[in-house]
């Protein structure tokens, strides 16, 4: 029997630990999903591998298979994050081979190799021989040993790569490389922002409606009351002109909840920009009680990204989710929820509150414009407390509840809050004030 906290709609590891989504692509109409995995250690120790699954509808997945292991000298301490490019008859994957050298090192300024490595696969799982493309000596001299997470795309008739980096003076930045053949790469430029963290992980560049966006996961931002509340952040900059010119606009966080980091996007054959995040975060002070049970973490739902009128990006659960929904049932002031369900709610009063399992509350106050997700119960949230944002009208909320997670999409996805939660029993009870709406059970 599956444990009650096992997710229904979200990808999670069979055993062990999961972190970043990697190598996302649509290969002949099939969504290929790779992710960082430590199959033998739910606490995240052990060497990182890539696990693989595929699906043609985002919800029915093939069995998890570990497909990339640290087995050459250049990736011996871990097959770190990276991305995919689809070519005729094959997928070409790029990742960072992490190497920690023995000896007395801080592993920031010395003792670490970060190698960009490529492999190809015709079926998504059987891999060619590994080929090393870039080594520490290929990065600008002012970079520390922290350079990683290649993401590649094609533009202006060439291939481009972004890498996340930390300079020797602790400044986060993105390095841009160019190539004609995907194998030989030349440093082109870098993007950075003053006073914006010491390391930028997992960069991604993409366009929505012609506008370019650079997504990064910065470490070292100063925490604020309504922004940057987690230990590390993830968000995007609109890019003015060419990425190589380095003109970045205002940074917007992808998600304001407790559990979101290291997202990656890709484009489907029908032209949608899909984003997956890791529904987890490194070095967070809170816990996931599945760890002693042998597994930890999951990915977010796949989200469709589109541009709002003001250029801010909107996120919505992939439309394929709609096909799984049963007939709506109206929500009353109190009741019970099916284990996996979607709530579509409209706020009708200046004060709105939805409480789940007696201890997790989503609340909005028109007077202040503050939306908050807070736990009153330590066990339910594994030590999570409160996350909040300002500036939303909070007219509509779409909540996707799975066995042990919640994703809240405010005002058509202008802001999203993701969190894990661990109910003691099911069905989960709710109380609702200041709003109306329906609950749709998910049939999977
Ligand atoms: C982000 C990250 C990446 C790295 C990977 C290792 O969570 O630190 O920068 O490639 O995880 O698992």
**Pairing assessment for the beta strands 131-134 and 112-121 based on DSSP bridges:** antiparallel
Residue 261: domain span: 16-319
Alpha carbon nearest to ligand 1 atom 9, residue = 201
Question: Does the beta carbon of 36 lie inside 6 Å of ligand 1?
Answer: yes
Final residue of a structural domain among 319, 340, 357: 319
Domain membership flag for residue 4: no
On whether both 140 and 101 belong to a single domain, the answer is yes
The count of domains in the chain is 2
Distance between CA atoms of residues 35 and 39, nearest Å = 11
Report pTM. Answer: 0.98
Positive or negative, the CA dihedral 239, 242, 243, 246 is negative
Task: Report if residue 99 sits inside a domain.
Answer: yes
From ligand 1's centre to the CA of 81, what distance in Å? Answer: 6
- Considering the domain boundaries, does residue 6 fall inside one? no
Do 20 and 156 share a domain, yes or no? yes
Same domain, 44 and 164: yes
Residues 6+ positions from 35 with CB-CB distance below 8 Å: 11, 18, 19, 20, 21, 22, 50, 51, 278, 299
The CATH number of the domain holding residue 354 is: 2.60.120.560
Whether residue 2 is contained in a domain is answered as: no
- Indicate if 237 and 351 belong to the same structural domain: no
> In whole angstroms, what is the distance from residue 92 CA to residue 182 CA?
9
| 262 and 365 both lie in a single domain | no
Name which of 401, 383, 373, 402 is nearest 291 in CA terms. 383
Cross-sheet strand order for the sheet of 396-402: 329-330, 435-441, 341-347, 396-402, 405-410, 415-420
Q: Domain ends where: 319, 351, 366?
A: 319
**Active site annotation includes 106:** no
80: Cβ below 6 Å to ligand 1? yes
Tell me whether residue 5 is in a domain.
Answer: no
Question: How many A from CA of 37 to the centre of ligand 1?
Answer: 11
223 & 279 share domain: yes
Query: What is the number of other CB atoms lying within 10 angstroms of the CB of residue 323?
Result: 9
From 262, 277, 281, give the residue whose CB has the most ligand 1 atoms within 8 Å, as the site to mutate: 262
pLDDT in tens for each of the 444 residues of the chain? 689 999 999 999 999 999 999 999 999 999 999 999 999 999 999 999 999 999 999 999 999 999 999 999 999 999 999 999 999 999 999 999 999 999 999 999 999 999 999 999 999 999 999 999 999 999 999 999 999 999 999 999 999 999 999 999 999 999 999 999 999 999 999 999 999 999 999 999 999 999 999 999 999 999 999 999 999 999 999 999 999 999 999 999 999 999 999 999 999 999 999 999 999 999 999 999 999 999 999 999 999 999 999 989 999 999 999 999 999 999 999 999 999 999 999 999 999 999 999 999 999 999 999 999 999 989 999 999 999 999 999 999 999 999 999 999 999 999 999 999 999 999 999 999 999 999 999 998
Residue 11 in domain? no
């Amino acid at each position: 029997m599956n444990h009650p906290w096992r997710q229904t709609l979200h990808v999670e590891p069979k055993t062990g630990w999961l972190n970043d989504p990697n190598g996302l692509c649509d290969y002949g109409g099939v969504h290929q999903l790779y992710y960082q995995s430590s199959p033998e250690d739910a606490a995240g120790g052990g060497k990182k591998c890539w696990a693989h699954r595929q699906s043609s509808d985002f919800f029915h997945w093939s069995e998890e298979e570990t497909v990339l292991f640290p087995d050459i000298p250049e990736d011996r301490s871990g097959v770190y994050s990276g991305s995919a490019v689809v070519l005729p008859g094959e997928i070409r994957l790029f990742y960072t081979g992490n190497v920690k050298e023995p000896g007395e090192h801080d592993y920031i300024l010395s003792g670490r190799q970060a190698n960009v490595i490529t492999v190809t696969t015709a079926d998504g799982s059987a891999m060619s021989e590994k080929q090393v493309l870039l080594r520490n000596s290929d990065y600008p001299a002012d970079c520390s040993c922290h350079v990683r997470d290649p993401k590649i795309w094609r533009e202006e008739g060439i291939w481009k790569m972004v890498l996340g980096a930390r300079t020797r003076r602790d400044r986060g930045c993105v390095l841009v490389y160019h190539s004609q053949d995907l194998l030989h790469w030349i440093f082109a430029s870098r993007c950075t922002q003053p006073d914006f963290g010491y390391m930028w992980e997992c960069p991604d560049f993409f366009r929505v409606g012609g506008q370019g966006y650079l997504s990064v996961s910065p470490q070292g931002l100063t925490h604020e009351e309504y922004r940057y509340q987690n230990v590390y952040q993830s968000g995007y900059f609109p890019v003015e002109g060419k990425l190589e010119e380095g003109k970045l606009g205002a940074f917007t966080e992808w998600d304001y909840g407790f559990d979101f980091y290291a997202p990656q996007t890709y484009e489907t054959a029908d032209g949608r920009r899909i984003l997956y995040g890791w529904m987890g975060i490194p070095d967070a002070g809170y816990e996931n009680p599945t760890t002693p049970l042998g597994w930890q973490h999951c990915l977010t739902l796949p989200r469709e990204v589109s541009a709002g009128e003001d250029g801010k990006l909107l996120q919505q659960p992939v439309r394929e989710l709609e096909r799984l929904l049963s007939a709506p049932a109206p929500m009353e002031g109190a009741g019970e929820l099916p284990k996996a369900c979607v709530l579509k709610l409209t706020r009708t009063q200046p004060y709105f509150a939805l409480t789940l399992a007696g201890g997790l509350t989503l609340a909005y106050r028109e007077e202040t414009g503050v939306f908050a997700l807070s736990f009153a119960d330590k066990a339910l949230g594994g030590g999570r407390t409160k996350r909040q944002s300002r500036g939303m009208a909070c007219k509509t909320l779409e909540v996707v509840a799975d066995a042990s997670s919640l994703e809240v999409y405010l005002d058509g996805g202008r802001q999203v809050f993701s969190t894990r939660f661990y109910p003691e029993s099911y069905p989960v009870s709710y109380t609702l004030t200041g709003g109306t709406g329906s609950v749709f059970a998910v049939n999977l």
